Chain A
Amino acid sequence: MSKHKIMLNKKQSITGWIFLAPAVLLIAIFSFVPMVQALLLSFQSGKGANLSWSGAYNYIRMFQDKIFLQSLMNNFIYLIIQVPIMLVLALILAAMLNNKSLKFKGLFRTAIFLPCATSLVSYAIIFRTLFANDGLINFFLIKLGILTTGYQFLTNTTSARIVIIIALVWRWTGYNMVFYLAGLQNIEYSIYEAARIDGASTFQIFKKITVPLLKPIILLTAIMSTNGTLQLFDESFNLTGGGPSNTTITMSHYIYNISFKYVPKFGYAAALSFLILFLVAFLAFIQMRVGDKRD
């Protein structure tokens, strides 16, 4: 390599650093710095601005905090029940839409993807209204003679959780389906035709071809959904308000409450948020392995 070219390369390398500097600095200032501050904060306790070092007190305390344990359990209930239902449904819908002989594909895809255009607050409120005591669901249940008076969906723990799960499935199934449809486009359609000629049933094709070939994307969506579920806020905040008596509250909602609703306990809130970070971190590690394949 000539001296001239080496100099040019060095110049270009510096240009590269200048180009990426704003983005990197912003992430450093608004993600990494606050993360370190939150870690330091999590070892302090007190109310409002009167904080003092307290070692691991906050971390010990959270395991005696009934509301927090409840919120942790709620997040895992939503995760274990809702994510599999949603992903399996999204996968089946994507496989159905990937059929060349099917008509109105665009229409179905748009309709199923449409809930993603609704804001989280809006859909939480739509579902809250649908399932209200004097809401549409109760109206029909009474009309059909199944109930005599309105069922209190949102003030009963189990049904309130079910409403949250139905709402989540409604909002996010189409989103995941689009990822699967994108992945299916990278699979040669002739594989399906060959399998069909060999006499494979629709279910066999789904199980033996579609699912294995989409594995990386299924993993990606599983991790994204897990990540999202551990951070649920709007649904708990606006759909059920965390109630009845905190039995549907999520971790993020509880952290918000301790930080901004009651007398602020920033240290304790920071410790709780670090627990979410640890839970997410393990999964993000896998996410990076899947997402970044260059080396």
Chain B
Amino acid sequence: MTRKEARLTKKGNGISYAVLTLVSLFSVFPLAWMVISATNRSVDITRGILIPGTAFLDNFNKLLSVQPLGIAMTNSFKYAIILTFISLFICSLAGYAFEVYHDKGKDFVMKIILLAMMVPFVAVLIPLFQIMSSAKLLNTTAAFILPSISTPLLIMLFRQSARSFPRDIIEASRIDGLKEYQIFIKMFVPTQKSTYAAALTITFMAAWNAYLWPIVVMTDKKSITMPMLVANTIQGYVTDYGVVMIGVLFCTIPTVIIFFFLQKYFAEGITGSVK
């Protein structure tokens, strides 16, 4: 590299650093501000205080006194964990089957399933609500999870990862006398960690953050979820920003933790599917 080129690269990187730093700050600021605000009194928040305060426990107790935080947290974890577990099992099994046993019939069914991707949720919202209502499932875990267990996206993700799963292993396992379901559980599942991690991230986050469907079918106070609780904190005439922000904080912590643990796999999973 000549000196001029080196200088050019350095200049180019300088612009990159400036832009990336600016965008990073823009990305992190609202969240940092939310965390700081959760420790400040509402009055101080409106006074533009940007340093952590001492009102964390006060805000927390106030939130507890006006909103069922424990119930919402338990519900959100319950719905999201059950949904993720069932969804990953059913979709990976289907994705594996669509690839490993693929023939004309199954390829055709796969195409039909992909059509479901274009159905906007709001288009099936009313009939789904009527189905749940007439099956007396309103305010149950079943109502929350049933419509989102099987998604074309996850099936596609697992079909894509099954594509690079060596056929020799399947053949060898068959010769060793393994049944087809044993091949799936003992051979396929343990080798697909990054796909499962990506699928887990997508499914858990979608379940945790779901809002439109829960406000339609989970109307009972006892079946409230975290996003519903957060939205409730801004109802009413006077908004206590400290209380609002602590609600937002509790709603955000679980997904941020999952995000930090699994972001590497998420990127890997996407890399696999866009190849």
Chain A residues, Cβ within 8 Å of B230 = 119, 121-122, 125
Chain B residues, Cβ within 8 Å of A276 = 120, 122-123
Chain A residues, Cβ within 8 Å of B205 = 117
What is the minimal beta-carbon distance from B91 to any residue of chain A, in angstroms? 6
Q: Which residue of A lies closest to B5 (CB)?
A: A196
User: Which single member of A32, A129, A139, A252 contacts B122 (CB below 8 Å)?
Assistant: A252
| Bound complex: CA A93 to CA B26 (Å) | 13
Chain A residues, Cβ within 8 Å of B149 = 26
Residue interface bits A13-34, CB-to-B below 8 A is 1, else 0: 1011101101110110011111
The reply to whether A134 and B126 contact each other, CB–CB distance below 8 Å, is no
| Bound complex: CA A202 to CA B230 (Å) | 45
Chain A residues, Cβ within 8 Å of B169 = none
Residue interface bits B83-126, CB-to-A below 8 A is 1, else 0: 00000001101101110111100110111011111111111111
CB<8 Å pairs between A and B, sample of 26: A19-B184, A20-B93, A23-B91, A23-B155, A24-B94, A26-B150, A31-B119, A31-B147, A35-B127, A37-B127, A101-B13, A111-B27, A112-B23, A115-B30, A119-B226, A119-B230, A119-B252, A121-B251, A179-B270, A182-B270, A186-B275, A231-B120, A270-B123, A277-B123, A288-B111, A288-B114
Chain A contacts to B: CB under 8 angstroms: 12-13, 15-17, 19-20, 22-24, 26-27, 30-35, 37-38, 41, 89, 92-93, 96-97, 99, 101-102, 107-108, 110-123, 125-130, 134-136, 139-140, 143, 170, 173-174, 178-179, 181-183, 185-186, 196, 202, 216-217, 220, 227, 230-231, 233-234, 237-238, 251-252, 255-256, 259-260, 266, 269-270, 273-274, 276-277, 280-281, 283-285, 287-288, 291-292, 294-295
Chain B contacts to A: CB under 8 angstroms: 5, 9, 12-13, 16-17, 19-21, 23-24, 26-28, 30-31, 33-34, 37, 45-48, 90-91, 93-94, 96-98, 100-103, 106-107, 109-111, 113-131, 146-147, 149-152, 155-156, 180-181, 184, 205, 208-209, 211-212, 215-216, 226-228, 230-231, 233-234, 241, 244-245, 248, 251-252, 255-256, 258-260, 263, 266-267, 270-271, 274-275
